[in-house]
Structure formats: structure tokens, C-alpha cells
Amino acid sequence: GNSVTQMEGPVTLSEEAFLTINCTYTATGYPSLFWYVQYPGEGLQLLLKATKADDKGSNKGFEATYRKETTSFHLEKGSVQVSDSAVYFCALSARAGGTSYGKLTFGQGTILTVHP
Amino acid sequence: SAVISQKPSRDICQRGTSLTIQCQVDSQVTMMFWYRQQPGQSLTLIATANQGSEATYESGFVIDKFPISRPNLTFSTLTVSNMSPEDSSIYLCSVAHSSNQPQHFGDGTRLSIL
């Protein structure tokens, strides 16, 4: 079946440091890939997405590239801020019945804490 | 993206009781889902709420424990029945305008059972 594996956290960085959160997946076919962010006490927000190989999703300074050859979708940001402190979830949506977006399978989440 | 309102935002319930969680969307959506997020864990899909028909449940979840209604394209409810402390979780509603759009989430309902 489908699965998503994220790097274990928590990740603690100083402000303006470079961020990488690794994500690899297992899926049949060609899934769509997502990063969601959950700020303390809130629901999940879609951060970025990619729907096919070599697509790069980007938003708010975050980027991730769909790498089919390594089945990866690593999240990066060049300079993190304290306000980026949150839990980050990698997820995939397997194609179902010919449509692009089906059920979401989530990774275990990575807690990011950024200190001033 | 859609504005999704979940009620209640949190509750503390007694063992053996039931609670119904509401999910209201400000526009018609094709797809609505219910997820559970246990403390410190990731999200697990409970079921897909189908408009006008029974929900489609994932392995490990049953209708008797988690009955779901979806009377129209903007509203759904999830009931957590006969609650036990193991049901203490965040329950989240998500929606997609169509099968080709990504899912967007409500803020969740934080449920504690004593």
C-alpha cells in the first residue's frame, strides 16, 4: 500500500538557518505530493504541492521538488523564522478512478522549533 | 480556498457518552473527509463522507462507532459514540471542491474523554 516516511524530529534551528525536512514515499502509479503545516492549536494548512515528476512546489519561501527517481519530496527553506515553528506533514494522494486527488496518506509529522 | 468551520472546537466528555461534531463549508464541495489525529501522532483517515449515501469507512473504523451524515454539499457531521479515553484525539474535517483539487482542513475538534 501507500506510505510516507518523514525524517524524525524534533528539529531545532536558529533564526535564518537553512531548513531541510526529508520525505520519501511508496506508492503505486504516480501520486500527487503535498506538504501541510500545522501551527500550534490550529488545523492543517496546505503549504505546497506537486502533481508530477520534476514539478517544484513553492510557497512562503518553502520549496519541494517531486523526485520520481528517488521517490522523494524534501521540504527546504533558505532562511527560517521564529514564525515557522510548527509541525510539518508530508502527504501523498494516490490517483483513484482516473482522478488526480484521492485519499491522503500522511507521514508522521516533523516538529520544527526556531529560536531567535 | 473554502472557509471550513468545525464545531465544537474542543470538548471534555464523560466515558460512555456520544458527541456530534459539525463541519460547515462556505461553498459546495464534492468531497468531504473525516480524520483523527491522536496525541502526538499523524492523521488517519476515518471515512469519506458521501452526499446522499453512506460514508465509506477505512479499515479499523466502523459506522456504529463513528456514524457520519452528509445531507448536502456544504455540511457533514461525525459522531463519536460510546466514548472511552482512547478516543481522546483531534478530529478534523477536510474538503475538496472536486476530485482534482487538494484537500483543505478545518481547525479541528479537540476531544478529551475522562
In tens, the pLDDT along A83-97 reads 999 999 999 987 655
Whether residues A104 and B1 touch (CB distance < 8 A) is answered with no
pLDDT tens digit string along B25-82?
A: 999 998 899 999 998 889 999 999 988 888 999 999 999 999 999 999 999 999 999 9
Pairing of strands B10-13, B109-113: parallel
How high is the pLDDT of residue A100?
A: 46
Residue from A16, A20, A74, A13 nearest A48 by CA: A74
Nearest-angstrom CA–CA distance, A56 and A48: 9
Instruction: Tell me the average pLDDT across B10-23.
Output: 97
Residues from chain B that touch A97, judged by Cβ atoms under 8 A, are 99
Q: What is the pLDDT of residues A5-45, one digit of tens each?
A: 998 889 999 999 999 999 999 988 788 999 999 998 888 99
Mean pLDDT of chain A: 91
If DSSP codes are grouped into helix, strand and coil, which group holds residue B5? strand
DSSP secondary structure code for residue A61 in this structure: T
Chain B residues lying within 8 Å of A73, measured CB to CB: none
